[in-house]
């Protein structure tokens, strides 16, 4: 084995054992190992794109969304320091104060969700222990708010606005779209690494070879019914681990695009008003977001811009013609701010439960 090949093998081996999510640029790794002249970088990219294209175009069935949502939900709960009422007891929600608060949150959230564009999802709303100012969602109907956020909420309409914003991310499938992009990118990285290794040597091919994105795996994923996302076999679990770790980082560090956030705000205002809440309460609540912070989970666009866009949309709706023959502008249905539900007000006054060791805040 030549010195160059040995160095390249070591480089690819280190990538392989680090996990696919870390395979950010296999070509660069190999180049740095000094084997650039032995591989064909020009042909690897298009070939990887061709092989992975079905993954970018396939529709994602609910079973897969549900599995992804459950996995992400576990991560959000873990990062949020655990569910309020379920962190320090072997019997989750054994105390009335936390159980009643979780139920009250679900009354507000599920009322909104049951009149959303995806009313039949298994909607689940939860409070996590973190003192950060945060709300976050996961596909298939999981929505979490932190105790820190609840501290800042002064009425039910504000809370409804926060929940409706997260519901909108789910109904608009924003995380699912990011997942689709992540899985496609992961496939291209892995396939590119395989192609480079084939060009370098047989030993490299063995080192970098992956079953996650073999032709058979891609075909099965693209066939909609080819993988069992309820049971998640070892191979699919491995895929999930790789993709969710990258996806978590994307969602947490970068967040959704500004367009996605504005779209979620508009749907939130609509949902609120249809349920009877005054959407102005949500506009005002946005003013409490810490500027530049990862408030409401991610690096959102500037709060002043969000408020302006929402105010304009609400004003346009309120000035729409109302001659009695057409559907009313949605804002005509809204009137309530309402006090915070009593169990949530009680929770705000209650001391936090003891934290689990090792819990991290969002």
DSSP structural state of residue 290: P
- 137: three-class secondary structure by DSSP: strand
Q: Would you put residue 255 in left (φ > 0), alpha (ψ -120 to 50) or beta? A: left
Decide if residue 26 touches another protein (CB under 8 A): no
Decide if residue 155 touches another protein (CB under 8 A): no
**174-203: contacts with another protein (CB under 8 A):** 177
Decide if residue 264 touches another protein (CB under 8 A): no
Binding-site residue total for another protein (CB under 8 A)? 87
User: Which one, 5 or 111, has the nearer CB to another protein?
Assistant: 111
Decide if residue 10 touches another protein (CB under 8 A): no
Decide if residue 78 touches another protein (CB under 8 A): yes
DSSP structural state of residue 83: B
User: Which one, 1 or 323, has the nearer CB to another protein?
Assistant: 323
Q: Which of 37, 202, 321, 349 binds another protein (CB under 8 A)?
A: 321
Decide if residue 55 touches another protein (CB under 8 A): no
Decide if residue 302 touches another protein (CB under 8 A): no
Q: How far is the CB of 74 from another protein (least distance, A)?
A: 5
The vertex-249 CA angle with 357 and 302, nearest 5°, equals 105
Q: Which of 156, 166, 178, 194 binds another protein (CB under 8 A)?
A: 156
Q: Is the CB of residue 63 less than 8 Å from the CB of residue 139?
A: no
Looking up tokens 């949502």 gives: 69
User: Which one, 59 or 351, has the nearer CB to another protein?
Assistant: 59
Look at residues 150, 109, 113 and name the one whose alpha carbon lies nearest to residue 130.
Answer: 150
Q: Which of 30, 33, 73, 353 binds another protein (CB under 8 A)?
A: 73
Q: How far is the CB of 214 from another protein (least distance, A)?
A: 20
Looking up tokens 């991290």 gives: 360
- 318: three-class secondary structure by DSSP: helix
Q: How far is the CB of 66 from another protein (least distance, A)?
A: 7
User: Which one, 240 or 282, has the nearer CB to another protein?
Assistant: 240
Look at residues 203, 243, 205 and name the one whose alpha carbon lies nearest to residue 221.
Answer: 243
Look at residues 174, 362, 159 and name the one whose alpha carbon lies nearest to residue 272.
Answer: 159
Decide if residue 103 touches another protein (CB under 8 A): yes
Decide if residue 248 touches another protein (CB under 8 A): no
Decide if residue 206 touches another protein (CB under 8 A): no
Residue span binding another protein (CB under 8 A) among the ranges 12-20, 210-218, 274-282, 296-304: 274-282
Q: Would you put residue 324 in left (φ > 0), alpha (ψ -120 to 50) or beta? A: left
Residue span binding another protein (CB under 8 A) among the ranges 33-41, 43-51, 69-77, 198-206: 69-77
What contacts 74, CB < 8 A, 6 or more positions away? none
Strand order in the sheet with 135-138: 124-128, 142-146, 135-138
Decide if residue 220 touches another protein (CB under 8 A): no
Rounded-to-integer distance, Cα 340 and Cα 151, Å: 11
Q: Which of 219, 241, 254, 302 binds another protein (CB under 8 A)?
A: 241
């Amino acid at each position: 084995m030549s010195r160059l090949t040995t160095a390249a093998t070591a480089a690819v081996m280190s990538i392989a054992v680090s996990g696919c999510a870390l395979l950010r640029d296999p070509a660069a790794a190999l180049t740095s190992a000094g084997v650039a002249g032995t591989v064909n970088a020009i042909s690897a990219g298009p070939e990887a794109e061709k092989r992975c294209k079905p993954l970018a175009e396939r529709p994602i069935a609910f079973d897969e969304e549900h599995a992804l949502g459950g996995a992400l939900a576990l991560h959000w709960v873990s990062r949020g320091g655990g569910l309020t009422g379920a962190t320090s007891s072997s019997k989750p929600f054994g105390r009335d104060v936390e159980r009643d608060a979780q139920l009250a949150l679900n009354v507000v959230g599920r009322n909104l969700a049951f009149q959303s564009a995806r009313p039949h999802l298994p909607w689940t709303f939860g409070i996590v222990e973190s003192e950060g100012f945060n709300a976050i969602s996961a596909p298939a109907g999981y929505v979490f708010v932190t105790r820190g956020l609840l501290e800042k909420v002064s009425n039910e309409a504000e809370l409804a606005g926060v929940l409706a914003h997260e519901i909108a991310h789910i109904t608009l499938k924003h995380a699912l779209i990011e997942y689709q992009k992540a899985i496609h990118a992961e496939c291209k990285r892995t396939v590119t690494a395989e192609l480079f290794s084939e060009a370098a040597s047989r030993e490299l091919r063995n080192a970098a070879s992956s079953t996650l994105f073999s032709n058979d795996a891609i075909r099965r994923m693209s066939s909609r019914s080819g993988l069992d996302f309820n049971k998640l076999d070892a191979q699919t679990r491995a895929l999930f681990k790789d993709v969710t770790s990258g996806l978590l980082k994307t969602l947490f560090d970068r967040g959704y695009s500004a367009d996605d956030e504005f779209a979620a705000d508009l749907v939130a205002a609509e949902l609120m008003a249809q349920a009877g809440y005054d959407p102005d309460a949500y506009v005002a609540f946005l003013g409490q977001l810490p500027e530049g912070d990862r408030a409401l989970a991610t690096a959102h666009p500037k709060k002043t811009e969000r408020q302006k866009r929402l105010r304009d949309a609400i004003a346009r709706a309120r000035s729409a013609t109302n001659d009695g023959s057409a559907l009313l502008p949605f804002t005509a249905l809204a009137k309530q701010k309402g006090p915070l539900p009593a169990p949530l007000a009680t929770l705000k006054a209650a001391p936090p439960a003891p934290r689990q060791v090792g819990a991290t805040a969002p």
